Structure 1
Amino acid sequence: MKKILPSLDLIMLSLMILSLPSLEAPKNIFLVGYLLTRLATEIIQFNKGMKLWSRWDTLFLTIVFTALLSTLFAGMPHLEEWKGYSVLMTAILSGWFLSRAQYSRENYQGLFKLIILGAIPPLLWGLYQYLIIHTKPDLQLHSVGHVNHSAIYLVMVFGASLGWFLSHLNLNKFKFKFSNFYVLALGILSLIFFVSLIIGQSRAAFGVGILLGLLVTYFLGKNTKIKIAGMISIISILMLSIVLKTGVVEKQIINQKANDVLSSREKVWNVSLEASRFHPLFGIGLSNWHFITIEQLRVSVESRGEKFNPHNYWFPGHSHNIYLSALVERGYVGLLVTILFMLFWMKHLISTFNWAKKTSQASYLWAGSLSAWVATYGIGFVNTTFHHEHAILACLFLGLYLSYTRAFFKN
């Protein structure tokens, strides 16, 4: 059993990655299988005296423990807090266990490419459903679902794909021969993912996607010509989408004319801000946001001697903000841990950047981690980004890069 665990570990992880945006049931089966094989490996290593521990392990454990406290002491108990806890743990444990894995350079390379290539089939199927047979009202990845959730997933994949392309693009050495056509294919693939953000019509995803594209181009372009050409290309696509009044642009224009630029998100945020007063330390419990009632808000507001206006609140089902979601569902403790996680992640990206630029493999793994960070915490200002498939994807990109740097990073 000990001999087959490493192979079984990689097989389960690979199958989970491939099924993540496409197949719901297999994704869950392979995810559980991966976590169990990793846990078995950790136990064996512990028994052998291999007690590896880092600040990242402490941070992951802190997230697990504080989220458990928010679940045990949920301000609105016996609802869906345990379901919400399991959703969060699915993503966090995926990233944590992966960060502790010890793979070969070829394994890291293969896993990264599986993430990118695995997004192609559900994207093509989603485009077919939306644009050709019209069975979907918007662009969705099959297992990811809702248009905004699929857009978050695609932003991460776009940034990682662009990093993969730029890590191999060298105009000084590039010649049009068969062995280099894969570089052109990577460029086309990145363009397809970027255009899909326009088709998807998620304004936040498109805007953050543009910012991410500019950042990846600036940081990973091998010379000034590539950086300038890349930035001009991204800005040109943006301008073209404005001139042609594509769906995502038209959506923004309509909202502006209706004096509703934020699509009433400010009313959703009012719910979260008021509900965060209910149980400020540990929150109301993960996934319990949609159980908040207008009557609870009225009592809370009027208890302070203020006038209550029900028209200032809207209940779409979740907080539409990763920071307010942490605040209301996990309290001040959850918000603090969320910000700490965000800052640790950013610090790791900054501290390893110069080293990562030295090799193409480290460069695109860095780009994947950066893309997950930007998508999660950028789009997170207007959407609840860290749950289900896109949370797992973010943790996969983070875990891959953490594991790679743990194995090969040299100051």
Structure 2
Amino acid sequence: MIKNLKTFDLFMLSLMIVSLPSVEAPKNFFLVGYLLTRSIFEFIEWKKRKIKWTDWDSLFFVFVLTAFLSTIYAGMPHLEEWKGYMVLLTAILSGWLLSRAQYSRENYQGLFQIIVLSALAPLLVGLYQYLIIHTKPDLQLHSVGHVNHSAIYLVMIFGASLGWFLSHVSLDKLKLSNLYLIALGILSLIFFVSLIIGQSRAAYGVGIILGLLIFYFVTKSKKIKLIGSISIILIVLLSFILKTSVIEKQIANQKTNNVLAYRDKVWNVSLEASRFSPLLGIGLSNWHFITLDQLKKSVEGRGKIFDAKNYIFPGHSHNHYLSALVERGIVGLLVTLTFMLLWIRHIITTFKWANKTKESILLWSGSLSAWVTTFGVGLVNTTFHHEHAILACLFLGIYLSYTRQYLPRK
């Protein structure tokens, strides 16, 4: 029974990963199937009193619980707070239940490789639609959608693919005759170039930083560190010389003194709206229901002059931290920051151990990529929802599960 459940949940997880960036309905079906199977497995383990509880389990539980409280006590109730809660819940449960799984070393490697490779087909389709037949206004992954959301997804995939490539280079001499290494190198290049084509300035900038970090930490060869860093810098310089869209977009904003692309005015909405229900927030996914009249009442209620020109409503907060503050309140923001800090602590404290084998450093690079993307791009965009939240939790969950099982205990 247990063995069959393990096989089935691994099967459902693999199918969900493959469909995540590509097809909507199957992705949801496989995700629910995976979560149900893992839940049944956990219940059986609980009945046998084999449940082992860790600090990470406590953190995941607190994340789910506080988000639930923000939903039932939403400052702007009866809107889309339950829909938003379910979106967050599926992502968190994906990472939580995966972190508790026990797979073989080969299974972890296979899952990682499926995550990276599954993004290639929808990326190629997106490039075809955008660059050749012009049916899309920008580069999008089919099931991920909006250009910024797709870019966030691709940054994580780029960092993971580069880690995959360098995990082999770090222990083996780079041989140009090794077709496997060449293929991995080309794969990383494709994902990096897609960030330039995608026109998301935040994703491109964080992608550059992530690439340099991966080169610095994953490979042990100073020569490869230097070659990798120079390669990234040359590609960046080439994007300036060729005046690519992502560069032109930033230059145009600078000329009009709009470096943040009006995000400061979007953030003003979040900061003011966070006063509506400061402790638990207005409710997940309720940001786009905030009105100018509500902001005016709040500002004038404090005896200040209201200026409508200071506020813009694009539909979401354009900041991961402000999203947590306004939708889940001070409690939600504190949980988010705790989650961020414990995640990076885990990445740092396991680095020396992970860097001993190419299998471990591969999974480490995926977790790092998810962290840097989520909390880096999160400074100027809403990064932790839908497909890219699930992807981040997959990278985190796989590495937590792997370290829980194989990291030597003191």
Does TM, normalized by the shorter one, top 0.5? yes
| Match in the other structure for 2:65 | 65
| Match in the other structure for 2:160 | 160
Q: In structure 2, do the counterparts of structure 1 residues 188 and 202 end up closer, same or farther at CA, with 3 Å as the change threshold? A: same
Distance 1:3 1:358 in 2: 30
Distance 1:174 1:249 in 2: 33
Distance 2:234 2:192 in 1: 13
| Match in the other structure for 2:385 | 387
Is structure 2 residue 92 aligned with structure 1 residue 92? yes
Distance 2:236 2:91 in 1: 33
Q: Cα offset for 1:170?
A: 4.5
Q: In structure 2, do the counterparts of structure 1 residues 308 and 120 end up closer, same or farther at CA, with 3 Å as the change threshold? A: same
Distance 1:44 1:53 in 2: 15
Q: Residues 100-133 of structure 1: CA distance to partner in whole angstroms, max 9, x if unpaired? A: 0000000000000000000000000000000000
Distance 1:110 1:3 in 2: 18
CA contact (8 A) 2:116 2:161 kept: yes
* More moved, 221-230 vs 334-343: 221-230
Aligned partner letter, 1:100: R
* More moved, 199-208 vs 2-11: 2-11
Alignment of 1:24-35 (within 5 A): 24-35=24-35
* More moved, 16-25 vs 253-262: 253-262
| Match in the other structure for 1:323 | 321
Q: In structure 2, do the counterparts of structure 1 residues 171 and 59 end up closer, same or farther at CA, with 3 Å as the change threshold? A: closer
CA contact (8 A) 2:282 2:326 kept: yes
| Match in the other structure for 2:14 | 14
Aligned partner letter, 2:149: H
Please, which of 197, 204, 207 is the counterpart of residue 206 of structure 1?
204
| Match in the other structure for 1:189 | 187
Aligned partner letter, 2:84: G
Distance 1:35 1:334 in 2: 24
Is structure 2 residue 407 aligned with structure 1 residue 409? yes
Alignment of 1:225-264 (within 5 A): 225-264=223-262
Aligned partner letter, 2:251: I
| Match in the other structure for 1:223 | 221
Q: Cα offset for 1:171?
A: 8.3
What are the ranges of 5 or more consecutive residues in structure 1 without an aligned counterpart? none
Is structure 2 residue 344 aligned with structure 1 residue 346? yes
Distance 1:193 1:359 in 2: 25
| Match in the other structure for 1:114 | 114
What are the ranges of 5 or more consecutive residues in structure 2 without an aligned counterpart? none
Distance 1:90 1:383 in 2: 20
Aligned partner letter, 2:97: F
Aligned-residue RMSD, C-alpha = 1.0
Q: Cα offset for 1:176?
A: 4.4
Distance 2:275 2:31 in 1: 36
Q: In structure 2, do the counterparts of structure 1 residues 164 and 172 end up closer, same or farther at CA, with 3 Å as the change threshold? A: closer
Distance 1:171 1:290 in 2: 50
Aligned partner letter, 1:169: V
Distance 1:30 1:101 in 2: 17
Q: Cα offset for 1:181?
A: 1.3
Q: Cα offset for 1:184?
A: 1.1
| Match in the other structure for 1:124 | 124
Q: Cα offset for 1:244?
A: 1.1
Distance 2:21 2:140 in 1: 10
Q: Cα offset for 1:173?
A: 3.0
Q: In structure 2, do the counterparts of structure 1 residues 50 and 316 end up closer, same or farther at CA, with 3 Å as the change threshold? A: same
Q: Cα offset for 1:39?
A: 0.4
Aligned partner letter, 2:136: K
Q: In structure 2, do the counterparts of structure 1 residues 22 and 204 end up closer, same or farther at CA, with 3 Å as the change threshold? A: same
CA contact (8 A) 1:166 1:222 kept: no
Alignment of 1:37-48 (within 5 A): 37-48=37-48
For normalisation by structure 2, the TM-score amounts to 0.99
Distance 1:176 1:258 in 2: 47
Distance 2:170 2:307 in 1: 60
Identity of aligned residues (%): 72
Aligned partner letter, 2:76: M
CA contact (8 A) 2:176 2:182 kept: no
Please, which of 274, 277, 280 is the counterpart of residue 275 of structure 2?
277
Q: Residues 275-331 of structure 1: CA distance to partner in whole angstroms, max 9, x if unpaired? A: 001110000000000000000000100011111000000000000000000000000
SS of 1:91 mapped into structure 2: helix
Q: Cα offset for 1:175?
A: 3.6
For normalisation by structure 1, the TM-score amounts to 0.98
SS of 2:257 mapped into structure 1: coil
Distance 1:110 1:396 in 2: 13
Aligned partner letter, 1:149: H
Aligned partner letter, 2:319: N
Aligned partner letter, 2:239: S
Distance 1:377 1:331 in 2: 18
| Match in the other structure for 2:330 | 332
Aligned partner letter, 1:294: L
Distance 1:161 1:173 in 2: 18
Q: Cα offset for 1:174?
A: 3.6
Please, which of 268, 275, 291 is the counterpart of residue 293 of structure 1?
291
SS of 1:4 mapped into structure 2: helix
